[in-house]
Structure 1
Amino acid sequence: MSTLEIRDLHVSVETKEGAKPILRGVDLTVNSGETHAIMGPNGSGKSTLAYSLAGHPKYQITSGTVLLDGADVLAMSVDERARAGMFLAMQYPVEVPGVSVSNFLRTAKTAIDGTAPPLRTWVKDVRGAMDALRMDPTFAERSVNEGFSGGEKKRHEILQMELLQPRIAILDETDSGLDVDALRVVSEGVNRVREKTDVGVLLITHYTRILRYITPDFVHVFVDGRIAEEGGPELANRLENEGYDRFLTSATA
């Protein structure tokens, strides 16, 4: 059982005009086995939350705390956060020319676990996960994300999640750029990992379409760097019908 606790988190980014506040006091708790959907309009701070939790140097924590099973996440380096059990599926995965997917995955698994996985079982695990995500076996020999389609990049992110088995997975707009078939396959992958590992999931999205396949336990509406409203799956349905206008109006009032 793992718990990610975010308390009164404030984050700024440096601009030409100086420091610009993005997150303005975020409180959120994610437990093992829970799926939390973070929804909101563009510019509301959703991705800032994801990258701040992962340790991106662009984002400056000005106050607040983040604890994972009682350990101070903000005091950890990026690699220490990964070894502690945090995982980020990026909205725009970067290309790593010259590094094959197979080498990347095994190196990452070794770094997180501290020991290299037995080759025979590892190859079986990789092939099984790729098959479930409907990925061609030759995919493993391609350079990481180089020349990948949007769907291939997102499947690769979920492949990492399944093999690395984090305690808390942050999925930043995993549905972005996916067609209906790819969305279904990726969602099935997330659900499979949830069932197998009891991972806590923080799912960031603009739209409700991915929530037709991944049912959240909690929905949080993000506006102007804060959580404006919280609820269950029914809140996502309300957003589908009403949009974010009522939250934007109250935020600027």
Structure 2
Amino acid sequence: MSTLIIKDLHVSVETEQGTKPILNGVDLTVASGETHAIMGPNGSGKSTLAYTIAGHPKYHVESGSITLDGQDILAMSVDERARAGLFLAMQYPVEIPGVTVTNFLRTAKTAVDGEAPPIRAWLKDLRGSMANLRMDKSFAERNVNEGFSGGEKKRHEILQLELLKPHFAVLDETDSGLDVDALKIVSEGVNRAKDTTGMGLLLITHYTRILRYIKPDFVHVFVDGRVAEEGGPELADRLENEGYDRFLADTNVG
């Protein structure tokens, strides 16, 4: 059993107008095997939390802590966080011209595990995961995300998730831009990875449609850089019916 603990996290970002606080005291604990849905309106700090966990240099931690089984994640470089078992599926995956999907994935697997996977077993795992995600074999020889559709980029993110087998994964709006069929395929991939590894999952989303396929154990509502409400799956259903107006009204009054 592994545990990711976020305590009183305050994070800011530099803008043309100066330092802007984004996270204002986030507390969150995720254990192995748990799925936590992070929901909230635009600008509430959801993606900032994801990138802070991953170690994006744009975001400055003013105070608070993030630990993984007692290890100080904030003291680690990005690659050290990956080797410790953290994974981020980005909302907007970047293109890497000149690097094929096959080379990228095997290099990443080698870096995370500390040794290169045996070729025969690796090819079997790669082809199996691609087949499960309905990805054509030719996909492996294309350059990373270059000319990919939105759905192909998201499937590639989940392909990484299945092959790298992290302890904790943060999915930043993986459902954005997906049609119904692609959403179902991607969700099935996430569930397979979770069932296989027992990883903990932080699922950031605006909408409940992905939660029909990836069932959350806990739902956290982000407003104004902090957790405004927490509950079980029923909270997501309430948000679907009521929206975020009542939280934003409270913020405006304050």
TM-score tier (shorter): over 0.9
| Match of residue 218 from structure 1 | 218
Identity of aligned residues (%): 78
| Match of residue 64 from structure 1 | 64
1:228 counterpart SS class: strand
1:94 counterpart SS class: coil
Within 5 Å, give how 1:48-197 maps onto structure 2. 48-197=48-197
Looking at structure 1, the residues matched to 19 and 212 of structure 2 have their Cα atoms a distance apart, in angstroms, of 38
User: What one-letter code is carried by the residue in structure 2 that aligns with 1:150?
Assistant: G
Looking at structure 1, the residues matched to 240 and 42 of structure 2 have their Cα atoms a distance apart, in angstroms, of 16
- Aligned-CA RMSD value: 0.4
User: What one-letter code is carried by the residue in structure 2 that aligns with 1:35?
Assistant: T
User: Shift of residue 251 of structure 1?
Assistant: 1.4
Looking at structure 2, the residues matched to 23 and 62 of structure 1 have their Cα atoms a distance apart, in angstroms, of 9
| Match of residue 252 from structure 1 | 252
Looking at structure 2, the residues matched to 130 and 227 of structure 1 have their Cα atoms a distance apart, in angstroms, of 36
Looking at structure 2, the residues matched to 236 and 17 of structure 1 have their Cα atoms a distance apart, in angstroms, of 35
User: What one-letter code is carried by the residue in structure 1 that aligns with 2:167?
Assistant: R
Looking at structure 1, the residues matched to 165 and 251 of structure 2 have their Cα atoms a distance apart, in angstroms, of 38
| Match of residue 21 from structure 2 | 21
Count of residue pairs brought into register by the alignment = 253
Looking at structure 2, the residues matched to 17 and 173 of structure 1 have their Cα atoms a distance apart, in angstroms, of 27
1:5 counterpart SS class: strand
2:57 counterpart SS class: coil
Looking at structure 2, the residues matched to 211 and 108 of structure 1 have their Cα atoms a distance apart, in angstroms, of 29
User: What one-letter code is carried by the residue in structure 2 that aligns with 1:16?
Assistant: E
2:25 counterpart SS class: strand
Regions of 4+ moved over 6 Å: none
2:37 counterpart SS class: strand
User: Shift of residue 252 of structure 1?
Assistant: 1.7
User: What one-letter code is carried by the residue in structure 2 that aligns with 1:83?
Assistant: R
User: Shift of residue 127 of structure 1?
Assistant: 0.2
User: What one-letter code is carried by the residue in structure 2 that aligns with 1:132?
Assistant: N
Looking at structure 2, the residues matched to 94 and 142 of structure 1 have their Cα atoms a distance apart, in angstroms, of 14
- 1:172-227 deviation per Cα after TM superposition (whole angstroms, max 9, x unaligned): 00000000000000000001111110010000000000001100000000000000
User: What one-letter code is carried by the residue in structure 2 that aligns with 1:244?
Assistant: Y
Looking at structure 1, the residues matched to 31 and 102 of structure 2 have their Cα atoms a distance apart, in angstroms, of 31
Looking at structure 2, the residues matched to 244 and 179 of structure 1 have their Cα atoms a distance apart, in angstroms, of 24
- 1:137-176 deviation per Cα after TM superposition (whole angstroms, max 9, x unaligned): 1000000000000000000000000000000000000000
Looking at structure 2, the residues matched to 252 and 224 of structure 1 have their Cα atoms a distance apart, in angstroms, of 10
Looking at structure 2, the residues matched to 18 and 25 of structure 1 have their Cα atoms a distance apart, in angstroms, of 20
1:41 counterpart SS class: coil
Within 5 Å, give how 1:37-56 maps onto structure 2. 37-56=37-56
User: Shift of residue 73 of structure 1?
Assistant: 0.2
User: What one-letter code is carried by the residue in structure 2 that aligns with 1:63?
Assistant: S
| TM-score normalised according to structure 2 size | 0.99
Looking at structure 2, the residues matched to 112 and 69 of structure 1 have their Cα atoms a distance apart, in angstroms, of 18
